[in-house]
Structure formats: structure tokens, C-alpha cells
Chain A
Amino acid sequence: MGKKISQALYHALLWLIAVIFFLPVFWIILASFKTKDQLLDVPIHWFFEPTLANYVDLFQRPNIANYLLNSVLISVLAVVIAIVVAFLAAYSFSRFKPGGTDLVMFLLLSVRMVPAAASVIPIFLMYSTLGWKDTMPGMILFYAMFSIPFSLWILKGFVDGVSERFDETGLINGASRFHVVFNVILPQVRPGLIAAFIFNMVFVWNEFLFNYLIGGKHTTMVPVALVTWMFNNSGVDWTFVATMTTVYMIPPILVVYFFQKFLLAGMTFGTVRGEI
């Protein structure tokens, strides 16, 4: 009996922690159903008559559908390209260890470490000169480049963890190398692929600076739209910010909810197989 009570207390504590972290987000979600006065009033109104006016206003804004579509297209395509590129490289690095493997892995990680403001200066100048600014391919490939290092690091760990016997068995049985890469190795590194996908997608999905600088009206994603629309005649338009934020956070939350198992396993960089 005592054990049951302590178990219940323990579970209550865990839920309490989750709720504490979630509270500011919950407040934003509630705010999207409030009027401006209710939103700004303190203490917080936890119970009120919800209104959908903010959502009606949001979806009546010009181009909102385009911006949402841009967000989806750019983040999904960029990350898929990055993962394919990173997976091929990870296989090559892991199995053949060509000269310079360590150097490339290291340089890619360093590149990721440079603050956005620094890496965007040359990219900005290059894109302006070549006329790549505000083009979908320019934006997508740029974000793909940004997602490669982390994907490569995760995936190399995973490919390292798959025994070379799988490759050998496949080759002996007459399979081509490409068959081995895509049909034998790929299915085994799935948690790594999904973890890399989620992490990079969340990054690109929420990215603001690059999209602001090298994007334009054809490639604007929601965070930039959010900041440009934020101010109205009377200062910050809080109900709009709350509504836009609420809508925009749904996809990443769903992804994390449904792929959580893979996310946890994927973050072990290939050292664990199976469930956590």
C-alpha cells in the first residue's frame, strides 16, 4: 500500500514538472481565444468566454496561406535533402573512411557553430550577387546546408552501429552497393533519421534571421511574417501574436508526440538499439 502511494506521489511530481514547463505555452494558447482586454488584464483570466475572432482575423490576412505553405515546403524539403545527403556521406565515411573524414566532420561542425550573423554576411553578399535572394531553391538549399552537419553526426553514429556483416551478406548474395545502402542499412538507422528530421525541422521551421535577410515576399515563412505583422497602430498586436503562435506550434508538437519513441532513441547517436 505504501509503495502504491509513493508511486502515485512520484507520478504526480512528474506531471507537475511537465505542467510547469508547459504553463507559459498554455497561457499563449488561452490568450489566442481572448479579447485584447482580457489578454492584457492581470491577474490572468483562466475562465472566460472564448472567442474565435482572432482566428477569423488571422486567416483573413493577405498571403497567410502562402506563408504557411512556404514554411511547410521549405522546412520539409530542406531537411529531406539534408538527410539524404548526410546519410550517403555517413555511409561512405563509416564504411570506407576516406582520407580527410575527420577533417570534414570537424569543419562541418565548426561551420554550424558560427553565429548566424557571421555566416549570413558572406551568404547575403553571394546571394545578392548571384540573384539567388528570395528564390525557393536558394532558400531550401541554404537551409539544407544548415541541417547537414547535425544529421551527419547523428547518422554516422548509427551507421557505425550497424555491423558490416549486413553489407557483406548483401554483397555476397549478389546485391549491388546501392541496394545494400538503401534496402539493408537504411531501415536499420530509422531512429537516427527521424531524430535528425525532427531536430532540423524544428530549427528550420522556427528560423527567423536567414529567412528575414535572404528571403523576400516569395519565400517568407511564418516567423518573419509574425514579426512584420506584430505591430499595429496601438503597439504590439498581442492577440494576433498569440493566435499565430498557437497555430504555428501545432505541427512540431504533433511530430514530437507521434515520433517520441524514435526521438529518444535517435538522440543516443547510435549507441542504443531498441526502446528507451
Chain B
Amino acid sequence: MNDRQGVPTSRTKPSWFKKAMRWYDNSKLFPTTLLIPVLVFFIVWNVVPTLWMVGLGFYNYSLITGAPEKFIGIKNFLDIAKDDTIWHNFGRTFLWVILTTGIETILGVLLGFLFWGSSKLPGRRLALTMLFTPMLLAPASTGTFFRLIYDPIFGVLNYILTLFGVTPIDFIGNRVWAFFAVMVVDIWMWTPFMILIALAALGSVPKAELEAAEIDRLPWHKRLIYIVLPYGKFILMLGVLLRTIDSFKTMDLIYLMTQGGPGNTTELIAIGLWRKAFEGFTMGWSSALALLLLFTAIAFTSVYLFVLNQNKKQSEGG
């Protein structure tokens, strides 16, 4: 692609500057220059801190005692392995990721299909903006407000329940309900994102093929399998990937609603780590756990990208 010998370099008089530019453009330097900024960011803000964290994971270092850090080998990691709370947090996080992402994807796809033919909807732009609003709100606000909505005395939800003769439930103070109460808020917030993704995925299906199917009177399930799915699934998979990532990281929303409580029934791994690091200030131990999370993230991402690439190859091949 870089071979352009024989092409006149310039129509006007070639000055030394133009020659230099031309040489630069054709050399390996050009693609490298474009990458310098991203590499600087990557090294300063990712590689250096990560190495720092790896190092700290082997030390006993607390911000409270102020004592100099002490090398303790892999003791932090052994402590984590023995800590039941951590493993419960991990389990709860995976349950959370699967349930929220799953429900949001299903709802998003269903509603996406419903909104697919909405091009003639009066005020479509406004309607879609309203639909997308939940994800535009600061999680700090949303978390706070849902505390009020769920409140046993002042909350709207409990008021509605009492109309049906149900005794008020303290949703976020109750060990059984808290997890689901928080989950409902997450679903309300992020289903719109999956609707957006579903609309984009459906938009990527070529209209000509759909029209041909219309003329051939292909039944809807066949249209779905042979036309919509092969084209749409790549974008849908990307959407699910992004949602999984963000769901794994959920933090502000839950922290502001329940702080991980009651007990630690809503304590996802991110919140547990936050409590240890910035309420307990045990930096060495927290770094070790953060490192484990980094590996989990890398593992997650590799599996997803593998699936994604398979999908991409299939849709390009087909």
C-alpha cells in the first residue's frame, strides 16, 4: 500500500521541505508518529501504575499506621485466598453481571424490535431522548433518589404496595430484597443502552434483503434467522461486551444506595475493594486484590474477543 513509486510527488517545484515531508510520509515514521500519543497515555496512566500495584501487592503497606512498607512476599495473596468474604463477593458479582446483563439484553432487544419500525412515530426524537434519559443521569443522583423511592415511610413504591394491602417493605434495608432492589435500578438505567445497541444492530441489516424477504413472503422466524441475525449479531455482541464490562464495574450506584449493605448482601467485589482500600487504607492487601481483578478482567475480555472474532469472521464469510 505504501508503494507509490513512479507517482509524481508534486506538481509544483519540489522544495526541500516538500521532499522531506514526502520522505516522512512514506517512511515507517508516519504510522509511529500517530501512535505516540496513545502510547504515552498507555505507559504513563496504565503501565506505570499497574507495575506499581504489582509491586505493592507484595508489601504490607497501610496509609493509617504510616509505618514504612514491609516486604511480605505472597502473604497478601494467601490472605485473600483464605478470605471467605472475598469469594462471596466474587460469586455475588458474577451473579450480578449475568442477571443484569442478561435481563437488559433481553429487554433491550425486545424493545429494540418494537422501536424498529418507529420511523413515522410523531415526535420520535423526543420519545427516544426520553427513553435514553435514565443512562444520562449521574449514578450519584439515581442512587440517592431510588433510596427515597424505596423508603418504607416516604417512598412511592411502598405507598403503591399499601394500596394493594401489602405491608411496607424496607427494600434496601432488607437482606433478601436489597440485592434485587438495586438490580431493578440498574436495569432501569441500562436497558436504554441495550435498546440503542439493538436499534443500531437492526439498522445494520440491509434494507434490500428485507424487502426481498417481504416480496417472497418469508415467515418472520426465517427472516430473523437468515437475515436479521447474521447481520445484526456482531453489533449486538459488542453491546453485550460493553455492558458486561460496565456491569462488572458497577460501583457508584450501589455504593450510594446501600454502601454494600445490609450486612454485605449487595457488596460486589468493586465495593468490597473500595471499603478495604479507602475505608481501611490497607494499600498492600488492596493492591493484591486489585491485581486479581485485573487478571479477571483480562480473562473476561479474552473470552469475549474470541467469541466476537468468531462472529465477525462468520458474518464476513457469509
Contact = CB atoms under 8 A, between A and B. Distances in A.
Interface in A92-147: 92-93, 95-96, 98, 104, 106-119, 121-123, 125-126, 141-142, 144-145
Contact of B269 (A95, A115, A264): A115
Interface stretch (A52-60, A62-70, A251-259): A251-259
Interface residues of B, number: 106
Contacts, number: 282
A9 interface: no
A1 interface: no
Given A11-B121, A115-B251, A121-B277, A96 B7 contact: no
Q: Chain A's interface: helix, strand, loop or mixed, by majority?
A: helix
B301 to A, nearest CB: 5
A168 B1 CA distance: 8
A8 B301 CA distance: 44
Nearest to A164: B1
Interface stretch (B79-87, B208-216, B290-298): B290-298
Contacts of A122: 49-50, 52-53, 56, 287, 290
B181 interface: no
A144 B252 contact: no
15 contacts: A10-B117, A21-B130, A98-B31, A113-B245, A125-B52, A174-B11, A176-B25, A208-B139, A230-B144, A257-B126, A264-B196, A264-B199, A267-B196, A267-B200, A268-B203
Interface of B: 1, 4, 7-11, 21-22, 24-25, 30-32, 34-35, 37-38, 41-42, 45-46, 48-50, 52-53, 56, 111, 114-115, 117-118, 120-123, 125-141, 144-149, 154-156, 159, 188, 191-192, 196-197, 199-201, 203-204, 234-235, 238-239, 242, 245, 248-249, 251-252, 256, 269-271, 273-274, 277-278, 283, 286-287, 289-291, 293-294, 297-298, 300-302, 305
Interface of A: 7, 10-11, 13-15, 17-19, 21-22, 24-25, 27-28, 40, 42-44, 84-86, 88-89, 91-93, 95-96, 98, 104, 106-119, 121-123, 125-126, 141-142, 144-145, 148, 150, 152, 164, 168, 171-172, 174, 176-177, 181, 202, 205-209, 213, 222-223, 226-227, 230, 236, 238, 241-242, 244-245, 248-249, 252-253, 256-257, 260, 263-265, 267-269, 271-272, 276
